[in-house]
Amino acid sequence: MPISISIVEDNDKLRGTLAKVIGRTEGFRFVSDYASAEDALAQLPAAKPDVVLMDINLPGINGVECVRKLKPLLPKTQVMMLTVYEDTENIFNALAAGANGYMLKRTPTKELIAAIHEMQRGGSPMTTHIARLVVQSFQKPVAVAPAADTSLSELSDREQQVLDLLAQGLIYKEIADKLGVGYESVHTYIRRIYEKLQVRTRTEAVAKFLQR
C-alpha cells in the first residue's frame, strides 16, 4: 500500500510544490493539504493519513501545538516537522509534543523522500545539522559522571559502529553507504540497538551512547 501523506503549510507555493512531489513519487499518495493548524485539526482525523508534514510557523495555532493536539486524535499517524527553524528550543518542543521526525525545508527532495520512508520504518529522521544539535545538548558537562550503562556492552561490534554513526548525525542511507551494507541491514541493526538499550527513539539511544 502506498504511504498516504497530508501537508500542513501556510506558504501556498511550497504547499503546492510538496503536493506535486508527493503525487509523482512512487509509493506515495497525496491525501490533503491545509494552510492552517485549525483546518488540519478539523479535517485530518477524517483523512487519516499515514504521514503529516508539519510546518511550525503557522497563523493562529503553531505547528508544535498542532502536533500536540493532533497526536491523541491520530495516534498511528507519523508527524514530520518540515521547517526553517533549527534552534534547540523548537526541536525539543516539537519532539516533546509528539513529532516523529524533524527536517529542514532546504533538505533536497531525495533526502526528504528517504526520511519519510525511514520514519515509516520506525526511525526518527533528522537532518545532519539537527541531529548534531540534539547530540550536543547531551554533551554538557555534569558534576558527577553517570553510572556506566551495562546494556551498551550487549551491543555487537557492528551495532556499536552503527550507533556511533547515529551519534554523528548520519541518516540510515549514509550509514549504509559508510559501512557498505544494505539499507535494510541498517534498519535491522538499529531495531536491535533499540531493543538492547530499551529505548524507542534515536535521541534516547544517542544519549545512552554518549553517557558510556
pLDDT number for residue 137: 67
83-122 core/surface letters (b: 16 or more CB in 10 A; e: else): bebeeeebbbbbbebbbbbbbbeebeeebbbbbbbbbeee
In this structure, what CATH number is given to the domain that contains residue 114?
3.40.50.2300
Provide CB contacts within 8 A for 174, sequence distance 6+.
Answer: 128, 165
pLDDT number for residue 145: 45
**Half-sphere exposure in the Cβ direction for 170 (13 Å, CA):** 18
Spans of the chain below 70 pLDDT? 137-150, 210-212
Same domain, 168 and 120: no
In a domain, 132, yes or no: no
pLDDT number for residue 138: 64
pLDDT number for residue 51: 97
pLDDT number for residue 194: 86
Last residue of a domain, one of 127, 157, 173: 127
pLDDT number for residue 197: 86
CA–CA gap between residue 212 and residue 210 (Å, rounded): 6
In a domain, 133, yes or no: no
pLDDT number for residue 203: 72
pLDDT number for residue 173: 82
Last residue of a domain, one of 127, 157, 180: 127
pLDDT number for residue 87: 79
- Write out the residue range of the structural domain in which residue 73 sits: 3-127
In a domain, 9, yes or no: yes
